[in-house]
Structure 1
């Protein structure tokens, strides 16, 4: 991934510090170019009254002005954080529209819905970094997560308080699916840099340990030495997300790599099962692809 591009949002939420820290760590480690995005709230939309209610033109104008002032203040604060991060990590600031040589970061402001903007921009970046939703009711974070999974790009989901290191010990949840194969392909640039790589596998109705030796051989051909761990109780109906996280923790991993799966036809990831359990409970950054 050396020389690739990443997209990360700087929005002042609970996970912002963790996501931008992960982004700048990867910028330096892999000589990347980052787009640091700040999405402004649309002042007109913010001032719109609830359905069924009406505002006088004067009140609507006042509310829109207040929303715009707040958006300007937030954007200014976020931009200063960006400049401070670039200075602290010695990452050059790229000019708008410029193609920088070597590592760099650029600042980008957009106005609108964060999920739509992240989803659109994610398709023109090699990796998207988002924060893990910290509450089941966090609708905006959940919608953003769904949007970036629809980009076709790998997604790094970062919890609010991740380990101090990233990618020094990597655990791969191998379950022989197309999504898993895609995320392993996306992880190949990271794997040779790790001090240890563990393959986590289990036997369920939908996963098998039969191809584990072939997968280990595939990684070995890429110069990646692994150890394997079979976890959980064989014969379970499905892979347990909590058991997977426990196995990753036992391996000492600071990054989990796994495929992401939808569980219904409504375009929603948050419907239980393994992906949901991992996203709701992980204390590790998780590299996913759908």
Structure 2
């Protein structure tokens, strides 16, 4: 039996542009009749102390911490206001975070919890009891902790991570591309995309000779999906300027996909950050909703 998506964790790491992530969140919540667990994690003002060098007095450090705390508070207020408007404008049922799951039915529900910046680890812990976590993309992120949040959840949650595109999409999950290279990471992503693939009008498995590892092939994936009642095709993608990630994004674009699933960091994250890699390219250039699993 396919596990249903009922709890969607929504870390709101910035207030500059929430249109896209909120649009995707609403689509998913209504599609799965799920609860949106929104969490705001403030910056830790004491982190500015690490920036203080020689010649910085204790008084100046205190002023810096106070200023950072004030800005973090203002940012949390802006995010809370945006979320409240989102809930009201879309007719969602608001519940307290402590009472999630206590009432059955009543349509899509939403909650908002504000955590202190020192509770950043608590966000990762919450992701382990979410059926998926949805985060804004990194392309236009202004919050320096956005990348930290994304990667912490990707590596430490054991659950799928979905990244919203830079611009609010017209559709999500109507045409799905599955990047496949035979690794355990891509296998988990394949399993996680099934709730969307079941209702998609088109599904295509993207492969690349330079991307493939020892393991099942794209044709094997098509047969696996067939067992789940999902019809899919395969597409062989060529790297663009020796970049596999660019080739996969081009393949997804050619298919008209509005959602891509893939395993993340088959190589170590450090190696990919230094030498480049598929995951890094996707994160820096994606224009569609992306599901990643690690």
CA displacement, residues 111-170 of structure 1 (integer Å, 9 cap, x when unaligned): 116864433322221211122222799753322222111122111122311531111110
* Rounded Cα–Cα distance in structure 1 between residues aligned with 2:191 and 2:216: 20
State the partner residue of 1:214.
220
177-186 vs 141-150, which moves further: 141-150
Deviation at 1:19, TM superposition (A): 1.6
Contact 1:116 1:144 in 2 (8 A): no
Change (3 A) 1:147 1:53: farther
Change (3 A) 1:270 1:157: farther
Q: How many residues align?
A: 285
Deviation at 1:46, TM superposition (A): 4.4
State the partner residue of 2:99.
98
CA displacement, residues 21-53 of structure 1 (integer Å, 9 cap, x when unaligned): 211211111111121111122344447761334
- Structure 2, unmatched stretches of 5+, are none
Q: In angstroms, what is the RMSD of aligned CA positions?
A: 2.9
State the partner residue of 2:57.
55
* Rounded Cα–Cα distance in structure 2 between residues aligned with 1:28 and 1:205: 35
* Rounded Cα–Cα distance in structure 2 between residues aligned with 1:212 and 1:65: 55
Contact 1:36 1:107 in 2 (8 A): yes
State the partner residue of 1:253.
257
Change (3 A) 1:261 1:93: same
Q: TM-score under structure 1 normalisation?
A: 0.86
1:147 aligns with 2:152: yes
1:78 aligns with 2:76: no
* Rounded Cα–Cα distance in structure 2 between residues aligned with 1:132 and 1:36: 16
Deviation at 1:222, TM superposition (A): 0.8
State the partner residue of 1:194.
200
Deviation at 1:289, TM superposition (A): 0.3
* Rounded Cα–Cα distance in structure 2 between residues aligned with 1:146 and 1:5: 20
Contact 2:188 2:293 in 1 (8 A): yes
Change (3 A) 1:177 1:48: closer
> SS at 1:97's partner residue?
helix
CA displacement, residues 238-284 of structure 1 (integer Å, 9 cap, x when unaligned): 87010000000000000001111243375x75341211111111111
> SS at 1:188's partner residue?
helix
* Rounded Cα–Cα distance in structure 2 between residues aligned with 1:245 and 1:208: 22
* Rounded Cα–Cα distance in structure 2 between residues aligned with 1:136 and 1:8: 16
CA displacement, residues 57-93 of structure 1 (integer Å, 9 cap, x when unaligned): 4x55554444333333222221121111112222211
1:270 aligns with 2:273: yes
- Structure 1, unmatched stretches of 5+, are none
> SS at 1:194's partner residue?
coil
118-127 vs 202-211, which moves further: 202-211
State the partner residue of 2:10.
8
